[in-house]
Chain A
């Protein structure tokens, strides 16, 4: 009976000291770099040169840094948009569609009103249109959820494809530029976001949004309602909160910010509108949001890190002729390690023969009730 303990047990950790958490994260990063190094060896490239190139290509040049900021803007903006939804345990994975709809709303004014309004006014109107369109798009699944309890995960996901489809139709039909080109014309200069320090001024907007979101979640009544509702719907009701209203309001806020991001990518980055204008940002932002554990300031760092990675990967391709797929794999490995290490922060593995005085708490079968109960009840 004594040695019957399983070879490896997974045990939940209780509070791990902060510094250890960061050591684990650092170790994960180093591991990812090591695995990536092996990959480089396989394609007969010196890993040190390769990583050096990546750094040089991304952070070494002014243009590189600008490129990074440009990539990071929508990632950060969208991650901020998702934060309150996730806090509320409302699984909005429809940011991609909300960005697309926001871009479409902005695009309408960029294409048809550029000669009727002075540029600053036009830009403000475009931003507002993005906000309204993104918000409305997010409102649809939220209202269904609040009213009839539909599953928001599936619903928001499906809405992405509809949004992309609508823009694809506009692209080939009513808004098409040269007949047969399947392309919407480039926006007039008046409809393009001006630059600040060499990059479109979207970065100022998202940094302001970061502070806003931090304050909103931490110090406002709305933020508190979101946190309570995410913790337990029954308690929210008991505290006199209007669950349906909070759900819809939060989803709309999230969609509105995504819509604003849509305006920024259409006007600042692409200067036109096309069906994949969101470019997967709506999904990558989910990773950013979780890696940052819903903390807005951490999102700035994570979004920047991802942008550095993707920029570095693309310079590799040109300077060392490493296949594009290898750079993508490196990015993937780093992300996987970062996500995977969160597992080791929350759980530990205990090997057989390491029992008796295994100093750490063990919580195999789902410990005391409240914990579990709550997740069940948290909708």
Chain B
């Protein structure tokens, strides 16, 4: 083994038009080390890594692998240099098996499935993946798909692995498993770069942390010698307080009374089973559960996007007679004041149009307002500017296609729009998925602000610590059933964890 670094970047600069995404970045990484790459949304983490994996080509600077200068002009070059990246958005063919996906585009030209399957089993056993090479992608969970991506990269002989926000879409159990695998790979002498916004993960898994701010590499520190608070300040560039203000609900009145709600998916599988609860105005109701326990279906049914088979949803707005929401169209429900901000796994798929700018995306809520055949662009434009200022969205302008924004900024646009509609019920799912720590707290406090306005806030989250700190009550879903509703001020993580697996009892992969 040589004395040089596994990867070294010198003076790497990358511009997109006027945006400087990376500004003279110097960075290195050694073998047998897990490095976290930390930075606010839009600070250039993904862009930097994309240059290592051959998706972008640097405008300036040089990349060294094992001390030798290299040219990485395509993903193929990256593999030739032993660099593999697992993107946030999986690039798998759904109708193929795991092995077929791994075999796709192997550069030696042969297509020997048998050999690939054996190879996959070998890698699986070595690091403890436990994946069936013959399983089709479409029948896999998000976590399994991610595993296939990792295997794909390992099979091509990668020594340097880059994972872009791999934990954003995983459950706590799956994250634990991923970390076990990452440690096994580190001990095997691989160099690993992990992008994540969750500081507890940074502290738990990484040996060193590289912090980026506004395209620049600020500093690399040893994890053991730093604290979350110090890292946050490095990231943001000034002292910040990470506190959620939680006050007692004032005069809570039932706003949404759900009873006996049952629904099935298109295959006839029961997704919600006799769900009942009350959401109060001026209160934050958290919803916890293993991924796919019916959170999405519940919100969609309330929003009218999914047909309820049985049950009722009584909505009692302030100063108006209660009304039944089941059977109403999504538009009627929204106009009545029930807002939904759902952040899907790919962030864009639902709720935003990538090719449109902020203004036109704001208009998705209001396009149908007002009489006449013409749309009103003035109001959404104002709204876009408000969201831009308030959430500090990093974009060249409100008409810049949101597809080109960094992941976190895309999301600010979505969440900002829903909050700005001043709803009387605000449902949000995975609102902080992929958001940097600072912005996450802005969102939490926005939710609290809505609560103070007397809004009934329903908050589907993944991070139990946050749920316990932010919410008033927490409803736990398990296999489409309500397995319990607890008081967030007194409940413990263990208690919720137990409820998450109790009813139905089926183990999640």
- Cα distance A362–B76 in the bound complex, in angstroms: 13
Q: Across the interface, do A365 and B403 meet the contact criterion of CB distance under 8 Å?
A: no
Among the stretches B239-247, B365-373, B435-443, the one at the interface with A is B365-373
Interface centre among A357, A360, A369 (most CB of B within 10 A): A369
- Taking CB atoms and an 8 Å cut-off, the chain A residues in 328-359 that contact chain B are 350, 355-359
The interface residues of chain A lying within 8 Å CB-to-CB of B354 are 231-232, 370-371, 374
Q: Across the interface, do B70 and A368 meet the contact criterion of CB distance under 8 Å?
A: no
Interface centre among A11, A15, A371 (most CB of B within 10 A): A371
- Taking CB atoms and an 8 Å cut-off, the chain B residues in 468-509 that contact chain A are none
The interface residues of chain B lying within 8 Å CB-to-CB of A364 are 54-55, 73-75
Not counting A239-B365, A364-B74, a sample of 17 additional A-B residue pairs whose C-beta atoms are within 8 angstroms of each other reads A1-B71, A224-B363, A224-B367, A227-B353, A228-B364, A228-B367, A232-B349, A235-B353, A238-B342, A240-B331, A356-B71, A362-B55, A364-B54, A365-B55, A370-B346, A370-B347, A373-B348
Chain B nearest CB, measured from A303 CB (Å)? 26
B224 proximal to A (CB < 8 A): no
**Total chain A interface residues with beta-carbon distance under 8 A:** 48
The interface residues of chain A lying within 8 Å CB-to-CB of B403 are 370-371, 374
Assuming the contacts A2-B71, A355-B73, asked whether A367 and B57 have C-beta atoms less than 8 A apart, the reply is no
Assuming the contacts A235-B353, A366-B91, A369-B89, asked whether A355 and B375 have C-beta atoms less than 8 A apart, the reply is no
- Cα distance A357–B62 in the bound complex, in angstroms: 9
The interface residues of chain A lying within 8 Å CB-to-CB of B54 are 364-365
Q: Across the interface, do B57 and A355 meet the contact criterion of CB distance under 8 Å?
A: yes
B352 proximal to A (CB < 8 A): yes
Q: Across the interface, do B73 and A5 meet the contact criterion of CB distance under 8 Å?
A: yes
B residues at A contact (CB < 8 Å): 14, 16-17, 46, 50, 54-57, 59-60, 62, 68-71, 73-75, 77, 80-81, 87-89, 91, 305, 329-331, 334, 342, 346-356, 360, 363-365, 367-368, 373-375, 403, 410
Chain A nearest CB, measured from B379 CB (Å)? 14
Chain B nearest CB, measured from A80 CB (Å)? 18
- Cα distance A7–B302 in the bound complex, in angstroms: 57
- Taking CB atoms and an 8 Å cut-off, the chain A residues in 50-99 that contact chain B are none
A115 proximal to B (CB < 8 A): no
- Cα distance A1–B72 in the bound complex, in angstroms: 10
- Cα distance A239–B71 in the bound complex, in angstroms: 45
The interface residues of chain B lying within 8 Å CB-to-CB of A223 are 375
Q: Across the interface, do A221 and B367 meet the contact criterion of CB distance under 8 Å?
A: yes
The interface residues of chain A lying within 8 Å CB-to-CB of B69 are 2
Q: Which of A220, A234, A356 contacts B350 (CB 8 A)?
A: A234
Main DSSP-derived SS at the B contact region? loop
The interface residues of chain B lying within 8 Å CB-to-CB of A5 are 71, 73, 77
A4 proximal to B (CB < 8 A): yes
Assuming the contacts A2-B71, A232-B353, A368-B87, asked whether A219 and B56 have C-beta atoms less than 8 A apart, the reply is no
Chain B nearest CB, measured from A3 CB (Å)? 8
Q: Across the interface, do B330 and A240 meet the contact criterion of CB distance under 8 Å?
A: yes
Q: Across the interface, do B16 and A235 meet the contact criterion of CB distance under 8 Å?
A: no
- Taking CB atoms and an 8 Å cut-off, the chain A residues in 172-212 that contact chain B are none
Q: Which of B17, B60, B71, B363 contacts A4 (CB 8 A)?
A: B71
Q: Across the interface, do A237 and B56 meet the contact criterion of CB distance under 8 Å?
A: no
B46 to A, closest residue via Cβ: A368
Q: Which of A1, A4, A374 contacts B68 (CB 8 A)?
A: A1
A residues at B contact (CB < 8 Å): 1-2, 4-6, 9, 11, 14-15, 219-225, 227-228, 231-232, 234-235, 237-240, 350, 355-374, 377
Chain B nearest CB, measured from A108 CB (Å)? 32
- Cα distance A227–B353 in the bound complex, in angstroms: 9
Q: Which of B59, B360, B374 contacts A357 (CB 8 A)?
A: B59
Assuming the contacts A240-B330, A369-B346, asked whether A6 and B73 have C-beta atoms less than 8 A apart, the reply is yes
B331 to A, closest residue via Cβ: A240
- Cα distance A117–B194 in the bound complex, in angstroms: 78
- Cα distance A363–B87 in the bound complex, in angstroms: 14
- Cα distance A239–B346 in the bound complex, in angstroms: 18
Q: Across the interface, do A369 and B87 meet the contact criterion of CB distance under 8 Å?
A: yes
Q: Across the interface, do B330 and A361 meet the contact criterion of CB distance under 8 Å?
A: no
Q: Across the interface, do B89 and A224 meet the contact criterion of CB distance under 8 Å?
A: no
The interface residues of chain A lying within 8 Å CB-to-CB of B14 are 361
- Cα distance A232–B342 in the bound complex, in angstroms: 15
Q: Which 5 A-B pairs have the closest CB atoms?
A: A369-B89, A231-B353, A362-B57, A240-B331, A365-B75
- Cα distance A122–B331 in the bound complex, in angstroms: 44
Q: Across the interface, do B363 and A359 meet the contact criterion of CB distance under 8 Å?
A: no
The interface residues of chain A lying within 8 Å CB-to-CB of B46 are 368
The interface residues of chain B lying within 8 Å CB-to-CB of A371 are 354, 403
Q: Across the interface, do A238 and B77 meet the contact criterion of CB distance under 8 Å?
A: no
Pairs A–B under 8 Å by Cβ, sample size 11? A4-B71, A4-B77, A224-B360, A227-B353, A232-B349, A232-B353, A232-B354, A240-B329, A365-B54, A371-B403, A373-B348
Q: Across the interface, do A359 and B373 meet the contact criterion of CB distance under 8 Å?
A: no
A220 to B, closest residue via Cβ: B373
Interface centre among B50, B347, B353 (most CB of A within 10 A): B353
Q: Across the interface, do B89 and A368 meet the contact criterion of CB distance under 8 Å?
A: yes
Chain A nearest CB, measured from B292 CB (Å)? 18
- Cα distance A2–B373 in the bound complex, in angstroms: 60
- Cα distance A266–B249 in the bound complex, in angstroms: 73
Chain B nearest CB, measured from A254 CB (Å)? 18
The interface residues of chain B lying within 8 Å CB-to-CB of A369 are 87-89, 91, 346
Q: Across the interface, do B349 and A373 meet the contact criterion of CB distance under 8 Å?
A: yes
Chain B nearest CB, measured from A15 CB (Å)? 5
Chain A nearest CB, measured from B103 CB (Å)? 17
The interface residues of chain B lying within 8 Å CB-to-CB of A228 are 353, 356, 364, 367
Chain B nearest CB, measured from A226 CB (Å)? 12
The interface residues of chain B lying within 8 Å CB-to-CB of A356 are 62, 71
Q: Across the interface, do A361 and B16 meet the contact criterion of CB distance under 8 Å?
A: yes
The interface residues of chain B lying within 8 Å CB-to-CB of A225 are 367
A219 to B, closest residue via Cβ: B374
Q: Which of A15, A220, A374 contacts B375 (CB 8 A)?
A: A220
- Cα distance A227–B55 in the bound complex, in angstroms: 29
A371 to B, closest residue via Cβ: B403
Q: Across the interface, do B59 and A359 meet the contact criterion of CB distance under 8 Å?
A: yes
B70 to A, closest residue via Cβ: A1
The interface residues of chain B lying within 8 Å CB-to-CB of A219 are 374-375
Q: Across the interface, do A367 and B364 meet the contact criterion of CB distance under 8 Å?
A: no
Interface centre among A219, A235, A357 (most CB of B within 10 A): A235
The interface residues of chain B lying within 8 Å CB-to-CB of A222 are 373
Q: Across the interface, do B348 and A370 meet the contact criterion of CB distance under 8 Å?
A: yes
Q: Across the interface, do B89 and A235 meet the contact criterion of CB distance under 8 Å?
A: no
The interface residues of chain B lying within 8 Å CB-to-CB of A350 are 73
- Cα distance A237–B364 in the bound complex, in angstroms: 10
Interface centre among B56, B57, B334 (most CB of A within 10 A): B57
- Cα distance A232–B354 in the bound complex, in angstroms: 8
- Cα distance A357–B88 in the bound complex, in angstroms: 28
A216 to B, closest residue via Cβ: B373
Q: Across the interface, do B353 and A221 meet the contact criterion of CB distance under 8 Å?
A: no
The interface residues of chain B lying within 8 Å CB-to-CB of A221 are 367-368, 373-375
Assuming the contacts A235-B353, A372-B89, asked whether A362 and B73 have C-beta atoms less than 8 A apart, the reply is yes
Q: Which of A6, A238, A355, A359 contacts B330 (CB 8 A)?
A: A238
The interface residues of chain A lying within 8 Å CB-to-CB of B80 are 1, 4
- Cα distance A227–B359 in the bound complex, in angstroms: 14
Q: Across the interface, do A15 and B355 meet the contact criterion of CB distance under 8 Å?
A: no
- Cα distance A237–B352 in the bound complex, in angstroms: 11
- Cα distance A374–B349 in the bound complex, in angstroms: 7
Q: Across the interface, do A361 and B60 meet the contact criterion of CB distance under 8 Å?
A: no
The interface residues of chain B lying within 8 Å CB-to-CB of A374 are 348-349, 354-355, 403
Chain A nearest CB, measured from B64 CB (Å)? 11
The interface residues of chain B lying within 8 Å CB-to-CB of A373 are 89, 346, 348-349
The interface residues of chain B lying within 8 Å CB-to-CB of A2 are 68-71
Q: Across the interface, do A240 and B334 meet the contact criterion of CB distance under 8 Å?
A: yes
Chain B nearest CB, measured from A6 CB (Å)? 7
